[in-house]
Amino acid sequence: MTTRHSQGLAVFTGLFYLYLYLPILVLVAFSFNTQRLNLTWEGFTLHWYDVLLADAKVGAATRNTLAVALTSTITATAIGTLAALALQRYEFGLRRFSETSLYIPIVIPEIVMGIGLLSLYATLKISLGLTTITLSHIAFSIPFVALVVRARLHGFDRSLEEAAMDLGANEVITFVRVTLPLILPGVLAGAMLAFTLSLDDFIITFFTNGPGATTLPIYVYGLLRRIITPEVNALSTVWILTVLVAVFFSQRLESRET
């Protein structure tokens, strides 16, 4: 590759990342803006972070969001991992149908799934709240986890499991000590994907939430309907930092396991 091509590629890459991250940088910068209307920059302040910390509704929404995300991630990761193992290793009557059905929650519009889940809960007379949100997040997270873990299982050397069993290990011990450590990077990747999807989900949560079950995306939407203040930017900045820290530690853990 010539020097001119290398420079052109570097410029294109820089513009691409600028296009992706400039809106986020502007959002973070305006979280320190002194102007309440947040239209133009006036000066630097930490006032909006003090307002954010003193807002009890933000604290409640954060707790709800984290509770739903952690519960749905753990459950979806366990079910999705087992589903991936079953689809990869066993032949059964509905195997082809099961493989195809995994893609349905991924490809259909979220609003369709949200309306469908709402209709289901109404038919079963289930009161809307954190439970229905959590069940909904588990439902749309399982396919993502299963597909990521299954990709990790491609090329998996099953002779390692057979060797462990030949040495006296049963199926449970073999899974815990041999299989799981080898596929753990895929499991962690699927779990992180499920976690971030749950944190950011708005549409399905909007249809399945109830009184006292407001999550952060729903709360931010309510703020934006009234007036956009730097408090929204401050909340978004804290949330972005939280996700980045989670992704960083996840990658560090994956690098240790591989």
Domain with 79 in it: what CATH number? Answer: 1.10.3720.10
- pLDDT tens digits along 166-209: 778 888 888 888 888 888 888 888 898 898 889 888 899 999 98
Does residue 226 fall inside a structural domain?
yes
- Is the pLDDT assigned to residue 243 strictly greater than 60? yes
Three-state secondary structure readout of the chain: CCHHHHHHHHHHHHHHHHHHHHHHHHHHHHCCECCCCCCCCCCECCHHHHHHHHCHHHHHHHHHHHHHHHHHHHHHHHHHHHHHHHHHHCCCCCHHHHHHHCCHHHHCCHHHHHHHHHHHHHHCCCCCCHHHHHHHHHHHHHHHHHHHHHHHHCCCCCHHHHHHHHCCCCHHHHHHHHHHHHHHHHHHHHHHHHHHHHHHCCHHHHHHCCCCCCCHHHHHHHHHHHCCCHHHHHHHHHHHHHHHHHHHHHHHHHHHHC
Does residue 20 fall inside a structural domain?
no
- Is the pLDDT assigned to residue 92 strictly greater than 70? yes
Question: How many whole angstroms separate alpha carbon 63 and alpha carbon 61?
Answer: 5
Does residue 23 fall inside a structural domain?
no
- pLDDT tens digits along 117-135: 999 999 999 999 999 999 9
Whether the model pTM is above 0.85? no
Q: Which of 195, 249, 222 is CA-nearest to residue 71?
A: 195
Question: How many whole angstroms separate alpha carbon 79 and alpha carbon 81?
Answer: 6
Does residue 58 fall inside a structural domain?
yes
pLDDT of residue 150: 87
Selected residue with higher pLDDT from 187 and 89: 187
- Is the pLDDT assigned to residue 32 strictly greater than 80? yes
Q: Domain span at residue 91? A: 46-257
pLDDT of residue 115: 92
Does residue 182 fall inside a structural domain?
yes
pLDDT bin (cut points 50, 70, 90) of residue 145 is very high
pLDDT of residue 256: 56
Does residue 32 fall inside a structural domain?
no
pLDDT of residue 174: 84
Question: How many whole angstroms separate alpha carbon 130 and alpha carbon 117?
Answer: 14
Does residue 15 fall inside a structural domain?
no
pLDDT of residue 56: 85
**Count of domains forming the chain:** 1
Is 118 in contact with 205 (CB distance < 8 Å)? Answer: no
Does residue 36 fall inside a structural domain?
no
Q: For the chain, give the percent of residues with pLDDT over 70.
A: 93
